[in-house]
Amino acid sequence: MTVPASIVRDTGGCRESHANLIATLTGLDNLDPTRPSRLPGWSVGHVLTHLARNADSHVDMLDGRPQYPSVEQRNTDIDTGADRDADTLIADVTTSITRLEAAWEAVTDWDLTATTLSGTRPGVSLPLLRWREVEVHRVDLGLGDDLDSDLAGMNRAYVRIDLHHLEMMWRARRPMGLTPLPAVVLAEPPHRRLGWFMGRIDIDGVGPAGMIS
C-alpha cells in the first residue's frame, strides 16, 4: 500500500514548511553555524548547507539529471559550504528554496522518473521526499529546547502523511507483510513514532527501525 500520488505530489505542505524554516532562521539573533547539530559530526552549517544543496538536487531531478553527481561530490559540497557565516548560509537556503518552488511551478506532468542517490523513484514522490528533508533536518538543527519538543513541533500534516507512508514501508520489509508495529511503538505519540522511524529517538523494548537516518 502506498500514499496516493495526488497527496504525495502536493507541494503545498512543503511550501508551508519552507516558509516556516525561513522565518525561523531569519528570526534568530545569534545563529552560530559552528555549533554542533543533532547529527553526529555535522555542525549547524553542515545541516543548512545540506538543505540548500538538497533543494538544488530536486531541481536537477525535475530537469532529468541525477540527484547528485556522486556521494563524494555531495559530501564535499556540504563540507565546503558548512564554514560560511550565518547570513550567507541563510541566504543560500532561501534562494535555493525559491529555485525549487519555481521548478515545481514549471512541472506540467509529474509522470517522470527521478534518479536519487538510493535509486530511481517516481517523480510524484519528490515533494514528499523534500518535505521530509525540511521537517526532519529542522529538528536536527537543534534550535529548540529539546529533541522531543522539536519533534512535536513538526508540521502535523507532514507527520500524518509520512508516518502512514513509513509504516507501510516498514510492514512491507517484514517477513510477514502485514506485521503490525510493536505495541510499545504504537503507544508513542505520532511525532515520537516518526522520530523512531527516522532514527532520531530510541524506544525502550525495541531496536532501531533501520529505515532512514
- DSSP codes, 129-170: HHHHHHHHHHHHTT-SS-HHHHHHTS-HHHHHHHHHHHHHHH
| Reported pTM | 0.91
How many structural domains comprise the chain? 1
- Report the CATH number at residue 62: 1.20.120.450
Question: Domain for residue 90, yes or no?
Answer: yes
Predicted local distance difference test score (pLDDT) of residue 177: 60
Question: Domain for residue 182, yes or no?
Answer: no
Predicted local distance difference test score (pLDDT) of residue 178: 64
**pLDDT tens-digit profile of 44-87?**
999 999 999 999 999 999 999 999 999 999 999 999 999 999 99
- Residue 10 confidence class, pLDDT cut points 50, 70, 90: confident
Question: Domain for residue 24, yes or no?
Answer: yes
